[in-house]
Amino acid sequence: MLHQSVVADAGNRAGVSRRFILGAGMVGLCACFFPWPAAAATKAAKTAGTAPAAPAAPAAPVGFYMENKAKFLADFKGVCAGAEKWLAARVSEPVAKTTCDDALRRFETLLPGLPDLGGATNRNQPFITMAGWLTALTQAMREKGLAAKDAGRLLYDLYAADWAAIPPQRAQAMGAALFSPASQAALKEWAELSQKRLLPGDWVGKFLPGDGKSFDLGYDYTECGAVKYFKAQGVAEVAPYFCLNDFLASRAQGTGLSRQHTIAQGDALCDFRYKQGRAVTQDWNSEVPRFEGKKPA
């Protein structure tokens, strides 16, 4: 199964490049439907007919971020290379360079304090890392008089360019895998385990089976790891822009995402609804006017 190969790849990579985000992000930035190791152990116990042991929070390797510091920084340098080109088209080249140099220094400072999600085995690890990227960029750009909206658009455009470089057949295959029985079972299992809130910095969700009409599968997030992190770092205003990347992924993959509420916009939940083959009509242009002026989460 595709999701199994992605998890295996995640286990072999400490950092998270933009390309890996695409490889892992079957349903976008908030794609969190692979269970933790504790969920797999619970399933095995059920199969064996024994009572499953009480789940324990997956422990990250000691100093996970610092042990893999070189890889994390190398990946973010790649992001900054794209960011510098994006900025140079809007401000002077020297300002673009100093801004990205500052962002890299900030990310290095932020790295040890990124939320503990249990290490590379957690499906959400790439997305909390990406939140760290955007935090560093937002803080550095703010020093140059640029708004959170600018930082959000920068990441959105880089993400769009990466999806455009993925062969359509590959992207569509990634999307189709989301609707497989195995993937839906994994999503349901992850959601049930997330309710235990074993990792305070992680996402919490509820699985919703499709209704056969308006959506094929769905899930509601009642806690968002990215929003919690942005708030802690004083950049809550960038969170709504971060969420827009989900529509880019869904459009490329043909998964038909529709979402009317997000925690980032101050709502009680994020309501993800997917219908295979449905056109994705939401994007930066449709959504930004809806939430600008609203108080962020």
Q: If you average pLDDT over every residue of the chain, what do you get?
A: 83
pTM: 0.82
**pLDDT bracket for residue 296 (50, 70, 90):** low
Please answer whether residues 14 and 68 qualify as being in contact, where contact means their C-beta atoms are separated by less than 8 angstroms.
Answer: yes
Nearest Cα to 127, choosing from 294, 270, 255? Answer: 270
Positive or negative torsion for Cα 102, 104, 105, 107: positive
Residue 22 has pLDDT above 50, yes or no: no
Please answer whether residues 183 and 105 qualify as being in contact, where contact means their C-beta atoms are separated by less than 8 angstroms.
Answer: no
Q: Kindly provide the b/e burial profile for residues 70-101, where b requires at least 16 CB atoms within 10 angstroms of the residue's own CB.
A: eebeebbeebbebbbebbbeebeeebbebbbe
Residue 97 has pLDDT above 50, yes or no: yes
**pLDDT reported for residue 89:** 97
134-149 tens-digit pLDDT: 999 999 999 999 999 9
**pLDDT bracket for residue 261 (50, 70, 90):** very high
The mean pLDDT of 221-226, rounded to a whole number, is 97
**pLDDT reported for residue 6:** 30
Nearest Cα to 272, choosing from 178, 134, 164, 197? Answer: 178
CA separation for the pair 166, 169 (Å, rounded): 8
**pLDDT bracket for residue 166 (50, 70, 90):** very high
